[in-house]
Amino acid sequence: MNLDDVLRRIKPDNQEYEKANSAINTLMKLLDGLSAEVHGSFRKDTWLKGDTDIDVFVFFDRSLGVDWLKRDAIRILMERLSSLNPKMSYAEHPYLRVEVNGINFDVVPAFKIRWGEKPLTAVDRTSLHTDFVNSHLSDYQKDQVRLLKKFMKGIGVYGAEIKTRGFSGYVAELLIAYYGNFESVVSESSKWKHPVRIELAKCFREFKEPLIIVDPVDPDRNAASAVSLRSLATFVLACNEFMKNPSDNFFFPEQETYSVVKGDILAFEILTKDVSHDILWGQIWRSVTRIKNKLKEAGFEVIDITATESDGNLYILTQLACKNIPEYYLHVGPFYFDKDGVNKFISVNEQVWINEQGRLCTIKKRKVTDAEAIIVSNIKVNGMIGIRKVDGISAWMSPFLRKRPTWLK
């Protein structure tokens, strides 16, 4: 495997740059008179071929305040971009999505800050992030960022949004700034054991996340706070495997269909109003955690559970040893010498006996024996208008059913 060959496949060509710049010029004319700037991976030149979503930030005076930004800045931008049929989306505060000549733009209102100033919103740091990357990474290193991003995408850990809980593009850039190039990142990351702490600026603050990368433009912030332990562990395992067996499959994973079912699979589609899914994922993951806990409390053996999105539809997938369990089960109580425990146990249970280990036992009746009822009653998402059970096995379920990543040979 040759990394130069991978880079040639993922680096945008001149035609893509020209198309993107033409779309930017069209958008900027509509924002004339406002303090609008291109940021994100396009401005830093770390974007990937075919991934031409562009971030445009419109900066306002911080004296106007956050409430004004959420209300009036959005109104101003909606009016300016009305000819493009803007769609509202949400992160910490609302922003707009528009399309120009096949190029998608996120148009984000923000406050302009200088180095050392405290941001009023999370996105206020963006211009400082751009300045840091452009002043600390060479053109060669920006190509190394592309390799790292594509590697992270290939193993499924790229993206800091709540849906993925993985590595942001900025974190990939910081890792290259710290280690120098893609191969060094892979080599050093293969040795990681959480908590991992990387300091590109001096910081005395303690963080609780599994991966800590001190933000050089705001040393009190962990730039990698979104990275879950699962994403970190997946990345470390993939780095180890890549060092043993370098392969294009890490960058361009095989799309294998897998339909072997072990245990019982229960899949439910979450039907919602016409709202951005971005704002729902926090509630979806809380529902997943709640379902898992309730199933275990009820006596079900949960093999795996996750949430996913396919073709714009939201799903919760649960894999159980068995979706139906017996109505009655053995309940083991206190030891014979635990006087208080024994008295209470005898008083509340009809059938009582002592087992070979000297413990009192009884037979209990379960309140619920069907897992479906527990799952459905614990899916709680704002804007949800219904839940639909998915019958049969579909191709999009393959990664969940297969378990073993295609890059893990």
SS (H, E, C) 241-303: HHHHCCCHHHCCCCCCCCCCCCCEEEEEEEEECCCCHHHCHHHHHHHHHHHHHHHHHCCCCEE
Q: What pLDDT is stored for residue 283 in this prediction?
A: 94
Please name which of 173, 213, 177 lies closest in space to residue 195, comparing C-alpha atoms.
213
pLDDT at res. 358: 98
Specify the pLDDT at position 93.
Answer: 80
Instruction: Return the pLDDT at 6.
Output: 98
Q: How many CB atoms lie within 10 A of CB 163?
A: 18
Residue 135 CA to residue 131 CA, distance in Å, equals 6
Residue 166 has pLDDT above 80, yes or no: yes
* Interstrand relation of 103-111 and 94-100 (parallel, antiparallel or unpaired): antiparallel
Q: What is the mean pLDDT of the chain?
A: 95
Q: Does residue 204 surpass a pLDDT of 90?
A: no
pLDDT band (50, 70, 90) for residue 92:
confident
Phi-psi region of 362 (alpha: psi -120 to 50; beta: other; left: phi over 0): beta
At 89, the pLDDT band (50, 70, 90 cuts) reads confident
pLDDT at 290: 98
Do residues 188 and 234 make contact, with C-beta atoms less than 8 angstroms apart? no
Confidence label for 91 from pLDDT (cuts 50, 70 and 90)? confident
pLDDT at 173: 99
Residue bearing tokens 């075919």:
50
What's the chain's length in residues?
409
272: left (phi over 0), alpha (psi -120 to 50) or beta: beta
Q: Using pLDDT thresholds of 50, 70 and 90, give the confidence band for residue 90.
A: confident
Give 1's pLDDT tier (boundaries 50, 70, 90): confident
Percent of the chain with pLDDT over 70: 100
pLDDT of residue 377: 96
CA angle 195, 201, 202 (to 5 degrees): 80
Q: CA 220 → CA 130, 156, 199, 204, distances in Å? A: 18, 28, 11, 8
**Which residues does 223 contact at the CB level (< 8 Å), separation at least 6?**
168, 170, 171, 174, 213, 214, 215
pLDDT digits (tens, 9 = 90+) for 15-45: 999 999 999 999 999 999 999 999 999 999 9
What is the mean pLDDT of the segment spanning 275-289?
88
- List the single range of 90-94, 114-118, 285-289 with lowest mean pLDDT: 90-94
pLDDT of residue 349: 97
Ordered domains of the chain (ranges, CATH):
3-123 (3.30.460.10), 137-250 (1.10.1410.30), 264-325+368-402 (3.30.70.590), 329-363 (no CATH)
More confident residue, 273 or 221: 221
Mean pLDDT in residue range 126-148: 98
